[in-house]
């Protein structure tokens, strides 16, 4: 059969790929690659960068390109058949990956290249790729004895299975909860756009009234605007008990045992390799050097932000008491009264801003921002096969007209689509005999879709999310590195990978940029100056509370991975409560099971690495401060950032790249200033 996953083409054939194509494609490709590696190692030729390292790099990229559309489809158009094929192949790919990482002959071949005279003549990207490979061999257990190697392989397989199951449980638990409201008065306070979305959802489900769900546009609207406190509590409880032993689907899709198993396996994996804890193992590929350094960094930020957070929370509870006589202020009141206090203090609401952020205007404006910064031109391309009718496709050209990158854009929430927002690789830049492959990205969000005749209108927070993901996309697409192993985001230390994404968020607050990215969906008029002044004044509204919330997640993540011991086991919920007692200011109800849905660390790549968001925010704030000094659209500074950060990928140490751009090491001052915590 002509398998659309195996035919050589630049873009995946999304219109033709079916679940039944997946396993045969992966089985065939893995068999071919095993044979190729055997042939390579048995050829008797002395390994060099060209005849060995680049051949391995091309094979790795080939597997990535076949697997990428499968993995992506599993996240955005999930189905039973797709899920089954994905999970069956996940274990095979995990086994293959561990097999390569533990292949001593492969390791020795890389070592021969590293020890050769040729190594010193190679460019920094080539040397970095070899150095990373040798490091990864060690982290895959290449030096372990046979019995321990086998155990390591079993652990990797099981970790792969469990992380996938964790994510599936969250997806299923999110999708399972629906609530039909039949009386309009029960939805008092919800804006027209949220009511229209709920009405549209009910119609699509074939029922009367309004349908609420736990998908972010619906959840956010209820928690922010619903006057009915009992409804807010019900929705909050359903959301925060997802995939747990409590809540409306108690015991269904419960992730509790999976979390414990994941921690045990990660700890055992780290100890097999000679690390004390998984936190130590995690830092082997990051900028931060020791667990103490990470904890000190987080605790320092907590000390600086906690007094501000406590003051903000006190003001919020007092406001709720004065306004509505609320004496038992609870977690389901936070978003609602935060929005009411924002309106009261700044006479501004997220809803008031939405008409100025129709998706089409935000997109064209965002493209105009990067055109002014980097000289790039972005155009939509029709006729490209996608996985859903909502998905659009774009190409990026530089000022010389050269194609630099391409991306799919999937903006709207829908059933069977993973929550959140992310960027992922489809094609990574790589040079070969036929030329250089253009990098391709997937950019995925979960915004409110168009309702009736109105376009999709974004909150200012959603505009920030879009800019954030596009920053990741530019990092992937603008790379000039020609070896896929260190091109784009590959090979970038995980705690530096958020630098380009958080950096892009800054333009969402600048008047000069907002004039470009906003325009009323009916009149086209810009955000009035009075409204902009209110928006900017509210920039650091409750920023202390937001800061300690992120620090709570980061400290919890790092502590469970640092403190887990096979002998003593661990009380996950207990550590989370301990962290909350130290840094949180918002009381958490006893039924809250946040950890059971914390996909970043239990299903994503952020295990013992969630601190990266704050670590990289120091870098991004300081990088942006150079634009504050020189002008936010200063082309010279933009070109410097593109050349030093975006084009370099993982080819050099991130601190070296930062110093090249900024002229010095990063300072925390800009982050504190931008967050309103400098004092």
Residues 6+ apart with CB under 8 A from 354: 193, 457, 458, 459
Do 32 and 127 lie in a common domain? yes
pLDDT score for 667? 95
| Number of compact structural domains in the chain | 4
Do 533 and 549 lie in a common domain? no
Whether residue 467 is contained in a domain is answered as yes
Residues 592, 580: Cα–Cα separation, whole Å: 12
pLDDT score for 565? 84
pLDDT score for 367? 98
% residues pLDDT > 70 (the chain): 99
Do 73 and 217 lie in a common domain? no
Residues 281, 608: Cα–Cα separation, whole Å: 9
Whether residue 519 is contained in a domain is answered as yes
Residues 457, 669: Cα–Cα separation, whole Å: 35
* 382 Rama sector, left if φ>0, alpha if ψ -120 to 50, beta otherwise: beta
- pTM assigned to the model: 0.95
How many CB atoms sit inside 10 A of residue 319's CB? 18
Q: 């997640």: which residue's tokens?
A: 553
Nearest to 56 by CA among 153, 146, 124, 129: 129
Do 398 and 454 lie in a common domain? yes
CB 475 within 8 A of CB 504: no
Strand pairing report for 403-412 and 440-447: parallel
pLDDT at 50 over 80: yes
Distance of CA 112 to the CA centre of its chain: 37
pLDDT score for 124? 96
- What tokens appear for 403 in the block? 């194609």
Whether residue 607 is contained in a domain is answered as no
Do 579 and 632 lie in a common domain? no
Whether residue 251 is contained in a domain is answered as no
What residues are annotated to the active site?
A: 469
Whether residue 211 is contained in a domain is answered as yes
* pLDDT classification of 678: cutoffs 50, 70, 90: confident
Do 68 and 118 lie in a common domain? yes
pLDDT score for 566? 67
Q: Of 219, 240, 261, which residue is a domain's last?
A: 240
pLDDT tens-place string over residues 186-230: 999 999 999 999 999 999 999 999 999 999 999 999 999 999 999
Q: Strand runs (DSSP E) across 399-540, as ranges?
A: 403-412, 422-427, 430-432, 435-437, 440-447
Do 121 and 208 lie in a common domain? no
Do 410 and 498 lie in a common domain? yes
pLDDT tens-place string over residues 512-563: 999 999 999 999 999 999 999 999 999 999 999 999 999 999 999 999 999 9
Average pLDDT, rounded, for the chain: 96
Please report, for the domain that includes residue 366, its CATH number: 1.10.1370.40
Whether residue 227 is contained in a domain is answered as yes
Handedness of CA 191, 193, 198, 203 (dihedral sign): positive
Do 485 and 527 lie in a common domain? yes
Q: Of 121, 148, 171, which residue is a domain's last?
A: 171
What are residue 592's phi and psi, to 5 degrees? -60, 125
Give the residue-averaged pLDDT of 295-317.
97
pLDDT score for 241? 98
pLDDT score for 43? 94
Do 419 and 524 lie in a common domain? yes
pLDDT at 377 over 70: yes
pLDDT tens-place string over residues 8-20: 899 999 999 999 9
Whether residue 12 is contained in a domain is answered as no
CB 69 within 8 A of CB 18: no
Residues 6+ apart with CB under 8 A from 312: 542, 544, 545, 585
Residues 153, 604: Cα–Cα separation, whole Å: 20
pLDDT score for 679? 65
pLDDT tens-place string over residues 76-85: 999 999 999 9
Q: 């619906």: which residue's tokens?
A: 218
Residues 333, 235: Cα–Cα separation, whole Å: 12
* pLDDT classification of 350: cutoffs 50, 70, 90: confident
Do 593 and 454 lie in a common domain? no
Task: List the domain range (segments joined by +) for residue 572.
Answer: 274-348+543-600
Do 187 and 165 lie in a common domain? no
pLDDT tens-place string over residues 591-635: 999 999 999 999 999 999 999 999 999 999 999 999 999 999 999
* N residues, the chain: 679
Whether residue 3 is contained in a domain is answered as no
């Amino acid at each position: 059969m002509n398998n659309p996953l195996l035919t050589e083409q630049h873009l995946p054939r999304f219109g033709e790929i079916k679940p039944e194509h997946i396993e045969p494609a992966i089985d065939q490709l893995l068999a071919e690659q095993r044979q190729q590696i055997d042939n390579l190692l048995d050829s008797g030729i002395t390994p060099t960068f060209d005849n060995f390292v680049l051949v391995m790099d091309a094979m790795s990229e080939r597997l990535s390109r076949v697997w990428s559309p499968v993995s992506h489809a599993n996240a955005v158009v999930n189905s039973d058949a797709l899920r089954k094929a994905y999970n069956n192949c996940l274990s095979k790919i995990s086994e293959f990956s561990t097999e390569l990482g533990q292949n001593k002959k492969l390791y020795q071949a890389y070592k021969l290249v590293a020890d050769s005279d040729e190594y010193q003549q190679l460019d920094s990207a080539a040397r970095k790729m070899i150095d990373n490979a040798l490091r990864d061999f060690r982290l895959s257990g290449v030096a372990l004895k046979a019995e321990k190697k086998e155990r390591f392989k079993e652990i990797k397989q099981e970790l792969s299975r469990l992380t996938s199951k964790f994510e599936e449980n969250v997806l299923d638990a999110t999708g399972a909860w629906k609530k039909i409201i039949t009386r309009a008065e029960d939805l008092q306070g919800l804006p027209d756009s949220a009511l229209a979305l709920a009405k549209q959802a009910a119609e699509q489900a074939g029922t009367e009234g309004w349908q609420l769900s736990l998908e972010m546009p619906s959840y956010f609207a209820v928690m922010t605007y619903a006057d009915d406190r009992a409804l807010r509590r019900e929705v909050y409880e359903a959301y925060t008990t997802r995939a747990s032993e409590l809540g409306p689907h108690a015991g269904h899709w419960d992730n509790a045992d999976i979390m414990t198993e994941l921690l045990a396996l990660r700890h055992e994996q780290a100890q097999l390799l000679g690390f004390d804890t998984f936190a130590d193992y995690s830092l082997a590929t990051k900028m931060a050097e020791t667990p103490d350094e990470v904890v000190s960094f987080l605790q320092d930020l907590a000390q600086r932000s906690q007094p501000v957070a406590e003051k903000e929370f006190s003001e919020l509870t007092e406001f709720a008491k004065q306004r509505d006589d609320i004496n038992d202020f609870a977690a389901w009141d936070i978003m609602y009264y935060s929005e009411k206090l924002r309106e009261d203090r700044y006479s501004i609401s997220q809803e008031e801003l939405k008409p100025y952020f129709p998706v089409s205007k935000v997109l064209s404006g965002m493209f105009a921002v990067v055109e002014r910064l980097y000289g790039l031109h972005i155009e939509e391309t029709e006729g490209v096969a996608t996985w859903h009718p909502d998905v659009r496709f774009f190409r990026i050209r530089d000022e010389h007209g050269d194609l630099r990158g391409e991306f799919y854009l999937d903006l709207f929430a829908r059933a069977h689509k993973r929550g959140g927002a992310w960027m992922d690789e489809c094609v990574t830049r790589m040079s070969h005999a036929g030329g250089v492959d253009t990098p391709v990205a997937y950019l995925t969000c979960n915004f409110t879709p168009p309702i009736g005749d109105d376009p999709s209108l974004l909150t200012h927070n959603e505009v920030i999310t879009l800019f954030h993901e596009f920053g990741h996309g530019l990092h992937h697409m603008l790379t000039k590195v020609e070896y896929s192993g260190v091109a784009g985001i590959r090979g970038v230390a995980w705690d530096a990978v958020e630098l380009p994404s958080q950096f892009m968020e800054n333009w969402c607050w600048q008047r000069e940029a907002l004039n470009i990215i906003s325009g009323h969906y009916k009149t086209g008029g810009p955000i009035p100056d009075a409204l902009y002044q209110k928006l900017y004044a509210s920039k650091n509204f409750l920023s202390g509370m937001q800061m300690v919330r992120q620090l709570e997640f980061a400290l919890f993540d790092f502590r469970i991975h640092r403190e887990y011991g096979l002998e003593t086991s661990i009380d996950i919920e207990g550590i989370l409560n301990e962290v909350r007692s130290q840094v949180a200011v918002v009381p958490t109800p006893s039924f809250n099971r946040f950890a059971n849905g914390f996909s970043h660390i239990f299903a994503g790549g952020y295990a013992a690495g969630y601190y990266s968001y704050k670590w990289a925010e120091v870098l991004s704030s300081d990088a942006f401060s150079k634009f504050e000094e020189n002008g936010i659209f200063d082309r010279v500074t933009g070109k410097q950032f593109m050349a030093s950060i975006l084009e370099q990928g993982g080819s050099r140490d991130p601190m070296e790249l930062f110093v090249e751009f900024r002229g010095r090491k990063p300072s925390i001052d800009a982050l504190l200033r931008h967050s309103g915590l400098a004092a």
